[in-house]
Amino acid sequence: MLHATKYSLNQMKERICGRRNAPKQVLKPFFEVDVHLNLDGTGECTLKPSLEDVQSAINRAASHVLKSTKQVQNWNQKDQPEDEREPFYDWIAKDKEIVKVILLLTGSIQGTKNNVNKFLNSFGKYSWLWKRKSEDDLKNFSKKDPQLEDFETKLQEFDGHITNVNIIQQNHQIGALSLKTDNVKTSLKTYINSWKDTFSRELHKKAKNLLE
C-alpha cells in the first residue's frame, strides 16, 4: 500500500514537475489553459482556468490519492474491534518521502508563474488598441491633410498588425501548461479591425468627395 501510494504520487510529480535528474527534459503538456484578453478596456490578459485553479486541481488529486488509503485498514488488526482498527492512512501520511512529494506538488505551478506572467505581458505591445481611441488618432492623422495614398499606407499598417497576430503560435508551452492563444488572437484582431474600420470609413468619405 505504501509503495502504491508513493508510486502514484511520484508519477504525478514527474508528469507535472519533470524528473529531478533530467533538467533539460521537455514535458508534455498536462493542462490546457486558454489565454483571454478582457474586452472591458483594461486589456488585461488572463488564464481560464487560472493558475490558482490548476494548482487547486493538483492539490485535490494528490489529496484524493492519499486519502484513498483511509478506506483500507491495516491488515494486522484482525483481532481488534472494527471501530478501533486504524487505516493505512495513519501510517502512510507520516512517511517522509510522501510528505516531501505532497509539498512539491502543492507548489508545483508556482515555479511557472513568472514565465506565464512574462508571456501574458508580451501582449502589452498592443495596449495602444485599447488605451487610445481610434477617433482621436484619426483626428490627429487628418490634421496632416493626408492624401489617399497616406490612408492606404495606414490601412496597410493595420493589415501588418493582423499578420503579426496570426503568426502567434496557437499553443505556447510553459512547463506542463499548454497556453492556447485562439481567444486572445481573436480579441486582438477584433480591436485592430475596429481601428481599421474607423480609418476606412474616412478614406471612403474622402474618396467620395474627390469624385463629386
pLDDT tier for residue 21 given thresholds of 50, 70 and 90: low
45-48 vs 31-37, strand pairing mode: antiparallel
Chain mean pLDDT for the chain = 90
- pTM reported for the whole predicted model: 0.83
| Residues 117 and 31 sit within 8 Å (Cβ to Cβ) | no
Taken as a whole, the chain contains a residue count of: 212
pLDDT tier for residue 24 given thresholds of 50, 70 and 90: low
For the chain, the straight-line distance linking the first and the last C-alpha, in angstroms and rounded, comes to 88
pLDDT tier for residue 133 given thresholds of 50, 70 and 90: very high
More confident residue, 13 or 23: 13
| Residues 87 and 74 sit within 8 Å (Cβ to Cβ) | yes
49-94, pLDDT tens digit by residue? Answer: 999 999 999 999 999 999 988 887 777 777 777 777 788 888 888 9
Q: 107 to each of 59, 62, 80, 114, how far by Cα in Å?
A: 9, 12, 40, 13
62-73, pLDDT tens digit by residue? Answer: 999 999 888 877
Q: Where are the beta strands (DSSP E) in the chain?
A: 31-37, 45-48, 171-174, 177-180
Predicted local confidence at residue 40, as pLDDT:
77
Predicted local confidence at residue 80, as pLDDT:
77
pLDDT tier for residue 25 given thresholds of 50, 70 and 90: low
> From CA 64, how far away is CA 70, in angstroms rounded?
10
